[in-house]
């Protein structure tokens, strides 16, 4: 939590409109609950949860 909460770098879902709902990002992420607000939410495309470790696994998938 401390890593994600204090990080200056954030994972974003800039291409969220291109999502095909395949679930690959959820399977790759060690904390998949942090993806939903950025990917399917109406607000910001940034993953702001302190639980995100900024590993980038969701981006690679």
Distance between CA 45 and CA 12 in Å, rounded? 5
**The pLDDT of residue 40:** 87
Query: Which residue stretches of 1-61 are H helix?
Result: 2-6, 24-28, 35-40, 57-60
**The pLDDT of residue 7:** 59
**The pLDDT of residue 43:** 84
12-60 confidence digits (pLDDT tens): 888 888 889 999 999 999 999 999 988 888 888 888 888 888 888 988 8
pTM score above 0.75: no
- Contact (CB, 8 A) for 58 and 38: no
Better pLDDT: 5 or 19: 19
């Amino acid at each position: 939590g401390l890593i994600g909460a204090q990080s200056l770098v954030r994972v974003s879902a800039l291409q969220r409109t291109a999502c095909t709902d395949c679930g690959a990002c959820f399977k790759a992420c060690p904390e998949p609950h942090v993806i939903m607000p950025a990917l399917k939410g109406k607000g910001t495309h940034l993953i702001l949860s302190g639980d995100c470790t900024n590993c980038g696994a969701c981006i690679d998938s």
